[in-house]
Amino acid sequence: MIKVAITGALGRMGSNIIKTINQQDDMKVVAAFEVPNHPKKGEDVGKLIGIGEIGVPLSTSDELDAVLKETKPDVLVDFTIASACVENVKIASKNGVKLVIGTTGFTEEQKAEIEKAIKENNVSAVISQNFAIGVNIFFKTLEFLAKKLGDYDIEIVEMHHRHKKDAPSGTALRAAEIIKANRGIESVFVYGRQGMTGERKKEEIGIHALRGGDVVGDHTVIFAGDGERIELTHRASSRQAFVNGVILAIRFIAEKENGIYNTFDVLGLNEIKF
């Protein structure tokens, strides 16, 4: 039985992850954390998310070290915000707890802090900006398109719900990195455009973030050439798409002793080469 702790337990992702873990035979939630001074602290997390009692009281992140020592989870799943995630990863990895990290919006310094904590403490982690299986196939397809159409004008457009805190999305940034690594010419990321921008340069990858309503997550990459264009779109219509990938990642990382992995490793997509 894989014992799992969740940070961001009552959030849009955390609550759905807990619901889905509760339906699996090979894993169970042993600890769940929210922000310090949360008004529901101590209440049963299952009741709070509407699935009935699961015997796990809501803890807060200031208790993370003590509760991890007491409940001894194998894996901690973090869907919070970047600054909180960095601290959670430091504490979890010091306790020898493996990680599945879905939080986005990190600075380069925060990414480095996370990697340092994981490596210094010899734990294993899956880090992914998007756990949806379809998005990972979309990423793989981008490797192919960037290799074939690297000199086309490339623009990335993403849209998410009005509550999303970071922009552009982690997925859009990952898509840009994949294109940059595969297109065979220099790349410069251009975030939105305004005013007298001058003629578009070939090396630009335009990245545009839209926010509104309850959009779960849409990403389109446009490869525009002379007289034609390809538009590759992924639309998530339910967070269950991300949650299903998280469940696969928990099983994957439970078997790994150390190292930093991504969802291509979880889904066996690294072997596919174009």
Ligand X SMILES: O=C(O)C1=N[C@H](C(=O)O)CCC1
Ligand Y SMILES: NC(=O)c1ccc[n+]([C@@H]2O[C@H](COP(=O)([O-])OP(=O)(O)OC[C@H]3O[C@@H](n4cnc5c(N)ncnc54)[C@H](O)[C@@H]3O)[C@@H](O)[C@H]2O)c1
Binding-site residues: 8-13, 34, 102-104, 128-131, 161, 170-171
Q: CA 176, CA 157: separation in Å to the nearest integer?
A: 11
Interface positions with ligand Y (CB under 6 A):
7-8, 10-14, 33-35, 61, 79-81, 84, 102-105, 128-131, 166, 170, 242
Q: Cα 239 vs. chain centroid, distance in angstroms?
A: 12
Judged by beta carbon, residue 160 or residue 183, the one nearer ligand Y is 160
Judged by beta carbon, residue 87 or residue 204, the one nearer ligand Y is 87
Q: Please identify which residue in the block is written with the tokens 């070939």.
A: 202
Tokens of 259: 């190292």
Nearest partner of 6 among 39, 37, 49, judged by Cα: 49
Question: Of 90, 98, 160, 219, which residue is the catalytic one?
Answer: 160
- Residue at shortest CB range from ligand Y: 11
Nearest partner of 154 among 198, 208, 196, 105, judged by Cα: 208
Smallest distance, ligand X to C-beta of residue 208, A: 14
Q: Is residue 160 flagged as an active site residue?
A: yes
Please work out, in degrees rounded to the nearest 5, the angle formed at the alpha carbon of residue 116 by the alpha carbons of 112 and 122: 150
User: Helices (H), strands (E): how many in the chain?
Assistant: 9, 12
For the chain, give the longest Cα–Cα distance. Answer: 63
Q: Is residue 234 flagged as an active site residue?
A: no
Smallest distance, ligand X to C-beta of residue 211, A: 10
7 contact, one of ligand X, ligand Y, none, CB 5-8 Å limit per kind: ligand Y
Interface positions with ligand X (CB under 6 A):
104, 129-130, 160, 164, 169-171, 217
Catalytic residues: 160, 164
